[in-house]
């Protein structure tokens, strides 16, 4: 029988009781238990003589129990175990609270190891609640690097360590999925040795090497997963959409603003991708306000001019409707019909006045350009005729318009890739991630997109993904190996930098006065709070609902304040946002739900409370809610924290408005697990800790590439194939 597959609840030392608790941590078999790794270590490796103990240090002593007694305190009715241990240099006291069984175990004459932090009181040096074990036992809880594990109620690290001591010998039966030649080439230990070293490392170097091995393994699997998606994607066919330089030039010249060089470069990369018969798979990575929408519009125009349809997907109904409004406005003077399809909306937007062709069929290129200029002039003269005509139609009618090809662009949520939706000839899909979609859905979406009923047999649509979260280079390397990337790292010329300032409590009234002054100019403001209502754990934070009431009554009684939070229904959120945009509110009090997608050009001030509770990247996303016009905008960061660390961290927001610079700083300060959100990435802690190791990621990328060149389907590496399947199933890194 394979002992590794044995259910833990069947083992006598564990049984049903602990088996049920372990199940909460997704640990069901011996193998699962062996692969449940510590997240940190207490260094009790150095034995110290009792006479050399110093207050505040962490140490291990070894000696003999001289006396052990149990004392009950009269006031608190608490049981205190007091034990005196001597070595050849002196005696030290150890104290445990409410652990009477310790007194029964540590009787006079027994040899013992104590490990923990040294405290001092009127009676002298003492250990408070130290780890202990009899000195006759193999060091497990003292006298070594002691592993500390992720725990749950009813399960301590000490219990896990005792069990692990008994089970660690079965690590030899673990089969290594990583090919031997790769491990040898990198001088990394085999799986069984690495597992032993992570649980019970003899030295710090041994632990670091084992950790590096698992970091490589997990990153190697990530790279295999993303590169296989890319290989599969590249085998598909797509329609080739010719790059119409004249049309693109005309469209850009007709815009009421000048494109940035970054926008021009990104648009050119995308338009050249669309020319290929292979499906594009590109990520447009741009900062808040960098102009991703207009780049997406240029790609859409190219596809529509070639006679094809475009679909734009957003993560929420609110953002889908916002895209519908902005895309309709961009194309209001073109012969383009825009549809909106969500659970709440079935809209169509047409221009009542149209010029049906951008190009004449004449062969003379000069005459074409001349014709375009005349058309452009004619459009301006007749702009009043170009009023948008929105129609609210049934879902069935909208689907009929889609399949007939009457709708050129359809915008919606991921409801757009449901089975009953059919297109006439869908050639381009644009997914607006807006910081909401992590690494988890990408290949899943690609698979759905490959299967979509696009009306083009044997072809799949080109795919453009957009994100408003600037992604540092290491994360790009780690997670986006299957994508080509275009970066918008330049802001439009008419945008003024948002003036950002850290505000201490003493300056609060000054900011309130400043907000009132801005509103008197006809502008609007945001006030952001991290919570919806008070919680027991975070009672010091101001809840948005309570503060909305306070601000309305005490600070701004003469102004109109709206309230937006995550507990509102989608329709209610939509209404609050619409009312704020229509200037029915002067100030919007909101929780972090406002981080994404509200476009209010008239808002010039954002106040963010309890900023130490947010990451820098999230603060930057909040800041991006203002500064969306040519008006000077302001961001005030409120903090009650007086620590140097908090002020130093927030000062990055004062120094730069570059989302990419802030993202790099955030990655350094909080680590990739916090930056990405571990739930979003799904990666184990060991891989997350090593995401800043660019060299390791590059090595994993190269080995994955070589491995797939040798065996694209991994048939030559069955163990690796099995591990990859398990990895993708557990991690959901699609």
Q: Residue 303 has what pLDDT?
A: 96
Q: Residue 65 has what pLDDT?
A: 93
Separation between Cα atoms, residue 174 and residue 168, nearest integer Å: 11
Q: Which range has highest mean pLDDT (145-154, 252-261, 682-691)?
A: 252-261
Q: What is the pLDDT of residues 349-394, one digit of tens each?
A: 775 433 333 333 333 333 333 333 333 333 333 333 334 456 677 8
Separation between Cα atoms, residue 195 and residue 178, nearest integer Å: 14
Asked if 690 and 474 touch (Cβ cutoff 8 Å), the reply is no
Residues 6+ apart with CB under 8 A from 378: 355
Q: Is the pLDDT of residue 479 over 80?
A: no
Residue 506 vs residues 136, 378, 512, 613: alpha-carbon distances, Å: 61, 59, 12, 20
Separation between Cα atoms, residue 732 and residue 682, nearest integer Å: 7
Q: How confident is residue 494, by pLDDT bands cut at 50, 70 and 90?
A: confident
Q: Is the pLDDT of residue 651 over 50?
A: yes
Separation between Cα atoms, residue 445 and residue 435, nearest integer Å: 16
Instruction: Name which of 317-331, 542-556, 676-690 the model is least confident about.
Output: 676-690
Q: What is the pLDDT of residues 4-53, one digit of tens each?
A: 999 999 998 899 999 999 988 889 999 999 999 888 888 888 889 999 99
Q: Residue 523 has what pLDDT?
A: 96
Separation between Cα atoms, residue 392 and residue 342, nearest integer Å: 12
Asked if 356 and 336 touch (Cβ cutoff 8 Å), the reply is no
Our CA angle for 32, 36, 37, nearest 5°, is: 150
Q: Residue 45 has what pLDDT?
A: 82
More confident position, 58 or 365: 58
Backbone angles phi, psi at 466, to 5 degrees: -120, 145
Torsion of CA 349, 351, 354, 356, to 10 degrees: 0
Identify any residues that bridge with 62 across adjacent strands, giving them in sequence order.
Answer: 113
What string of DSSP letters covers 483-498? SEEEEE----TTPPPP
Q: Sign of the CA dihedral 674, 679, 682, 686? A: positive
Q: What is the pLDDT of residues 404-416, one digit of tens each?
A: 999 999 999 877 8
Q: Residue 487's CB: how many other CB atoms inside 10 A?
A: 18
Of residues 533, 598, 527, the one with CA closest to residue 566: 533
Burial of 489 (0-12, 13-18, 19+ CB in 10 A): middle
Instruction: Name which of 310-324, 646-660, 665-679, 691-705 the model is least confident about.
Output: 665-679
Q: Residue 439 has what pLDDT?
A: 42
Q: How confident is residue 142, by pLDDT bands cut at 50, 70 and 90?
A: confident
First to last CA, the chain: 34
Asked if 39 and 148 touch (Cβ cutoff 8 Å), the reply is yes
Asked if 503 and 638 touch (Cβ cutoff 8 Å), the reply is yes
- Number of helical H runs and strand E runs in the chain: 25, 23
User: What does the block give as tokens for 108?
Assistant: 């006079």
Give mean pLDDT, residues 452-458.
80
Asked if 344 and 317 touch (Cβ cutoff 8 Å), the reply is yes
What string of DSSP letters covers 112-152? EEEEEEEEEETTEEEEES-EEEETTSPPSSSSSEEEE---B
Our CA angle for 306, 311, 315, nearest 5°, is: 155
Torsion of CA 449, 455, 458, 463, to 10 degrees: -30
Instruction: Name which of 307-311, 528-532, 680-684 the model is least confident about.
Output: 680-684
Q: What is the pLDDT of residues 655-666, one digit of tens each?
A: 888 888 888 888
Overall residue count recorded for the chain in this entry: 734
Our CA angle for 388, 595, 548, nearest 5°, is: 100
Of residues 303, 281, 302, the one with CA closest to residue 235: 281
Residues 6+ apart with CB under 8 A from 9: 15, 16, 18, 19, 20
Asked if 293 and 327 touch (Cβ cutoff 8 Å), the reply is yes
More confident position, 89 or 572: 89
Of residues 322, 331, 369, 324, the one with CA closest to residue 353: 331
What average pLDDT does the chain have? Answer: 82
Residue with token string 């304040």: 561
Of residues 180, 141, 143, 178, the one with CA closest to residue 162: 141
Q: What is the pLDDT of residues 546-577, one digit of tens each?
A: 889 999 999 999 999 999 887 788 778 878 88
The percentage of the chain sitting over the pLDDT mark of 90, rounded to a whole number, equals 40
Q: Residue 321 has what pLDDT?
A: 84
Q: What is the pLDDT of residues 163-219, one digit of tens each?
A: 998 899 999 999 999 999 999 999 999 999 999 999 999 888 898 899 899 989 988
Of residues 567, 626, 561, 629, the one with CA closest to residue 592: 567
Q: Residue 680 has what pLDDT?
A: 42
Q: How confident is residue 450, by pLDDT bands cut at 50, 70 and 90?
A: low
Residues 6+ apart with CB under 8 A from 713: 721
Asked if 631 and 521 touch (Cβ cutoff 8 Å), the reply is no
Answer yes or no: pTM beyond 0.85. Answer: no
More confident position, 433 or 679: 433
């Amino acid at each position: 029988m394979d002992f590794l597959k044995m259910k833990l609840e069947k083992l006598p030392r564990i049984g049903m009781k602990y088996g049920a608790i372990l199940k909460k941590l997704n640990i069901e078999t011996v193998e699962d238990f062996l692969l449940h790794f510590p997240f940190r270590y207490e260094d009790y490796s150095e034995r110290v003589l009792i006479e050399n103990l110093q207050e505040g240090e962490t140490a291990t002593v070894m000696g003999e129990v001289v006396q052990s007694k149990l004392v009950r305190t009269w006031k608190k009715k608490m049981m205190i175990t007091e034990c005196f241990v001597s070595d050849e240099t002196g005696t030290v006291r150890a104290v445990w609270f409410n652990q009477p069984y310790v007194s029964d175990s540590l009787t006079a004459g027994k040899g013992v190891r104590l490990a923990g932090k040294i405290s001092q009181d009127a009676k002298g040096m003492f250990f408070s609640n130290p780890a202990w074990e009899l000195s006759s036992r193999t060091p497990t809880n003292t006298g070594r690097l002691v592993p500390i594990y992720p725990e749950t109620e009813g399960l301590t690290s000490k219990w896990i360590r005792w069990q692990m001591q008994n089970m660690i010998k079965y690590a030899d039966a673990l089969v290594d999925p990583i090919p031997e030649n790769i491990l040898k080439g990198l001088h990394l230990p085999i799986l069984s040795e690495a597992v032993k070293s992570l649980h019970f490392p003899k030295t710090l170097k041994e632990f670091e090497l084992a950790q590096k091995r698992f970091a490589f393994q997990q990153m190697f699997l990530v790279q295999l997963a993303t590169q296989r998606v890319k290989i599969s994607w590249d085998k598909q066919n797509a329609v080739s959409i010719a790059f119409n330089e004249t049309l693109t030039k005309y469209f850009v010249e007709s815009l009421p603003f000048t494109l940035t060089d970054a926008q021009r470069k990104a648009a050119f990369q995308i338009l050249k991708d669309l020319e290929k018969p292979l499906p594009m798979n590109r990520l447009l990575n741009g900062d808040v306000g960098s102009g991703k929408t207009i780049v997406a519009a240029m790609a859409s125009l190219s596809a529509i001019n070639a006679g094809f349809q475009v679909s734009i997907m957003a993560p929420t109904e609110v953002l889908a409707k916002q895209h519908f409004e902005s895309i309709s406005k961009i194309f209001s003077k073109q012969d383009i019909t825009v549809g909106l399809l969500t659970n709440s909306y079935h809209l169509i937007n047409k221009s009542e006045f149209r010029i049906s062709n951008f190009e004449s069929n004449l062969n003379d290129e000069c005459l074409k350009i001349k014709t375009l200029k005349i058309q452009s002039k004619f459009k301006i003269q007749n702009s009043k005729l170009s009023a948008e005509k929105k129609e609210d139609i049934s879902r069935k009618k909208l689907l009929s318009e889609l399949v007939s090809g009457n709708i050129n662009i359809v915008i919606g949520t991921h409801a757009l890739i449901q089975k009953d939706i059919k297109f006439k000839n869908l050639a381009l899909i644009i997914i607006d991630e807006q910081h909401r979609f992590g690494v988890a859905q990408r290949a899943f979406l690609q698979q759905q997109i490959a299967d979509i009923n696009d009306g083009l047999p044997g072809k799949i649509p080109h795919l453009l993904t957009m994100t408003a979260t600037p992604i540092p280079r290491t994360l790009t390397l780690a997670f986006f190996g299957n994508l080509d990337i275009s970066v918008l790292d330049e802001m439009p010329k008419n945008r003024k930098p948002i003036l950002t300032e850290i505000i201490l409590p003493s300056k609060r009234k000054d900011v309130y006065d400043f907000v009132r002054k801005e509103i008197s100019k006809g502008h609007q403001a945001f006030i952001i709070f991290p919570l919806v209502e008070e919680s027991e754990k975070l009672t010091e934070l101001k809840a948005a609902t309570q503060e909305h009431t306070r601000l309305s009554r005490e600070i701004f009684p003469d102004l109109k304040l709206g309230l937006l939070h995550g507990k509102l229904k989608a329709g209610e959120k939509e209404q609050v946002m619409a009312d704020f945009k229509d200037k029915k509110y002067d100030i919007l009090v909101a929780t972090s739900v406002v981080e994404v997608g509200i476009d209010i050009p008239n808002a010039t001030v954002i106040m963010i409370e309890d900023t130490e509770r947010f990451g820098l990247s999230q603060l930057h996303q909040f800041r991006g809610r203002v500064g969306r016009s040519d008006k000077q905008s302001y961001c005030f960061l409120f903090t009650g924290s007086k620590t140097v660390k908090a002020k130093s961290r927030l000062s990055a927001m004062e120094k730069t408005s570059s989302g990419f610079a802030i993202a790099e700083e955030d990655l350094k300060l909080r680590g990739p697990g916090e930056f990405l959100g571990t739930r979003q990435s799904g990666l184990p802690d060991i891989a997350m800790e090593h995401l800043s190791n660019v060299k390791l990621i590059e090595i994993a990328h190269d080995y994955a590439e070589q491995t797939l060149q040798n065996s694209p389907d991994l048939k030559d590496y069955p163990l690796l194939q099995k591990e990859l399947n398990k990895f993708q199933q557990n991690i959901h890194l699609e």
